[in-house]
Structures are given as C-alpha cells and as structure tokens.
Structure 1
Amino acid sequence: MNSPSPPRNAFCTLLMIAGISLPLYANASDEMAKKMDSNGDGKVSAAEHAAAAKAMFARMDADKDGSVTAAEMDASHAAMKKDGQATDSEMSSADKIKTIDADGDGKLSAAEHEAGSKSMFGKMDSDMDGSVSEAEMKAGHKSMMGKKTDK
C-alpha cells in the first residue's frame, strides 16, 4: 500500500520538529547552526544534525516511551518559551506530527523523527557537500517557511 505524499509544507514541519523545534524567527537559523555545530567549524554535518535531532526527540519524549505525542510536544514548546526561546506556533503539534507520522498512529516514533530529520538535512544541503552552512540553513528557512530569516 502506498502512503500519500506529504503535504507541500512537510519540509517546513520537519524543520520545526527536527531542528528543530528551535526558534524560527529572525536570525534563528544562525542560532540553530551554532547550537548544532559541535566542533565549531561553521558547518553542521549530517552527524551533528542527527545528534541534535536525537537530543530534541529525547527532550520531547517526557515519559520516555519512545514516542512523542502532541501533548509532549506542546509541553516541550512551553518549556522552551519559559527558557526565553521563541517557537513557531503557526501549526499545531498534532499537525506537525501528522506530517511525518508514517504509520498514522498520531504520535511520532524515534524512527519517524529520525527519518524526517535525515530527509530535511538532505534537502537543506543544497551543494551536497555533506554539511549545512549557516547560509544553507538560512536559505532553507526562507524557502520552506516563506518567511524572512534575516533583518
């Protein structure tokens, strides 16, 4: 059975979930790149991106059952706001999950999250060099979010 194609805004959703649900406002792509760039080389490798996505999933999976529900994602976003981080709230957590919920069970498994993150990274790596620069991240945000990411 073929699964339906993801909605056009699926990449935007992946960006919010896998990146990840870090702030998506002016200069946020710079902040995201710096947070994910663990070796400080100015680029985010696939391994760094995957590690950041895995850490985000672990933070969202409050009950540690291996899946993230909309309620857990909402709680994670609330905690981020409490810590002074802005979050993009144009889409509900349930809708974000639905976009990459391959088995349609209404929650996001670690495997679904990982697959979505990997797909997002591949799309953002426009020069296909195996890493995402701040410019590529900024361009990805602008392209997928339809918003300005610089002032």
Structure 2
Amino acid sequence: MHSNSDKIFNRSLEDYQPLILIVDNDNDNLLLASYIVESMGFDYVVTDDSEKCLSLAAELLPDIILLDIVMPKMNGLEIINLIKQDLSLAHISIIAVTGLTKAEDLDRLITAGFDDYLCKPYLIEELEGKIYSLLNYPLA
C-alpha cells in the first residue's frame, strides 16, 4: 500500500492543503480511505498502529483523523481520550470509523468527543460529505 508518511507537508497558510490521518488496523480499509481522500485532492498519512497514531498526530497536526475504534493495543476510545486531553491536539476533528452500530455504541462515541462517525461498510459519498463538512468546504 502507498503511504506518504515520509512526505513533508506544506502546513503554511499559503497554498494550504488539508491533511487527513487515517488509522485502521485493516489494510483494505486503509487503502479504501486513502483512495477516497486522495481523490478529494487532500494530503493523507496512514497507519495501522494505534500508538503511532498519537505520535503522528502530535508531529503533523492533521486537520482530521479517521479513527478505527476496534484496534489492538489501544482502541479508538482510548486514543481519543488521550488526544482530547492534550491541549495541542484537542482541536483536531476526529471521525470514528466503526463496525459498532448499536445506538448505545454510537452515543458513546459522541460522548467520548468524536466529531462524527461512520459505520462500516460506508459509502464513498458518506465519507466525503463528513470530511467536507468538518473542513467547512462546500460539497464537491
């Protein structure tokens, strides 16, 4: 899978390009999300490691994190808790990407601080709409 985690991103205001951090322990899910984000014209970084997610977030300060919930080592709820406690990261919008579909699970995600959620499997248009909405972009 193509990953651009070694790329240097232009984070200056001139020619600013939104950056999306995609975190999922399933390579097929990473590939799908990266294709969608790339087709939208945005920069992205992928990782299948929940702990690496935290270091990438701190280093790159992405605009949005697409975060799988059920992951080894640290789950998405633990990750968002750590991100929201860090004042330098708390502003980052985070979309939960999950197979959990019960109403109480989804309520728990919003209560935990997620800005939005997507239930797997999701439609391409759903992900695009949520990203555009969080970036305050008009729908393409």
Return the TM-score normalized by structure 2. 0.29
Question: Which has the higher relative contact order, 1 or 2, with Cα contacts under 8 A spaced 6 or more apart?
Answer: 1
Q: Pick the structure with more helix per residue.
A: 1
How high is the TM-score relative to the length of structure 1?
Answer: 0.28
